[in-house]
Amino acid sequence: MLISVFSALWFIMFGCDAAFVIGLSIWLRKKTVDEKARIMTIIGVFNLVYWVFYKVMLAKDPTFEFILATELPFQLCNLNMIMIVVAMNWRKPALLNFCYCFGIIGAVLALLAPDPGFVNVRLLHVRGYGYWITHHILICQSIMIVSTGFYRPKYKDLLKSMLILLVLYFVMYFINLILRNVTGLPINYLYTFGMPGNSILEMLYRILPVYPIYLVPALVALTPVMMGFIALGRIGEPCPDAVQS
């Protein structure tokens, strides 16, 4: 079975996400915050190891042009995979809010608008089990930060998490510049230089035709969505030892 956006398999995988999140969240809500952190750290480390395995296998795929400089873990979803493990143990509300909100947004956008090379592929092909499964695990991880009762989101944490994103974004812009000068390749982590063929990014560039700040209006547009995430995360009674600001 081939996987592409809105295919039967695409919907089935989201259904599996829901079942996994609901089941594990019900179980973990009865645990202490330390036990929750330990379990979710294990899941996070597994996803990171799985991502490395996927990249190694992708490098061996004769149908894929693998260039190490363009496959570093500097895209938003890759950064979230790393930061979730840190957040589980550092327990800073702003970082947890960042991983919760932007982990969901980044992974969902990646699954709604994947690169062409990852569309209409078999799930058992490296481009299938690598790209699609790592992003689905990330969605589950991000949601469970709140659904397990580990973190109780607050609206005041959102501004700090947006600041974290802006810092990462402009750091990646300069990393892109350095890597472009060193390699001569069009390195483009976090899409600071746009993405030809992506209608959403092209529209944003028409609104504000200046790299890298062309994406800043998107952050403003996504603010109500993230406030909705926080509202959902505040439904019900908080766990006694939930991390709060």
| 242 domain residue, yes or no | no
What's the pLDDT tens digit per position in 102-122?
999 999 999 998 888 899 999
The closest alpha carbon to 189, from 212, 158, 162, belongs to 212
- Residue 240 domain flag: no
* Identity at 194, one-letter amino acid code: G
DSSP 239: P
244, part of any domain: no
- In the chain, alpha helices (H): 8-28, 33-59, 76-90, 93-112, 126-127, 133-147, 155-183, 199-207, 216-233
Residue 13 within a domain: yes
Q: Tell me, yes or no, whether 239 lies in a domain.
A: no
Q: Would you say residue 196 has pLDDT above 80?
A: no
pLDDT one-digit tens code per residue, 41-95: 999 999 999 999 999 999 999 989 999 999 999 999 999 999 999 999 999 999 9
Answer yes or no: is 243 within a domain: no
In whole angstroms, what is the distance from residue 243 CA to residue 36 CA?
11
- What's the confidence (pLDDT) of residue 83? 97
| Residues 6+ positions from 113 with CB-CB distance below 8 Å | 5, 198, 200
Report the run of H or E that residue 184 belongs to, with start and end: none
Can you give the residue range of the structural domain that contains 194? 2-233
Domain count of the chain? 1
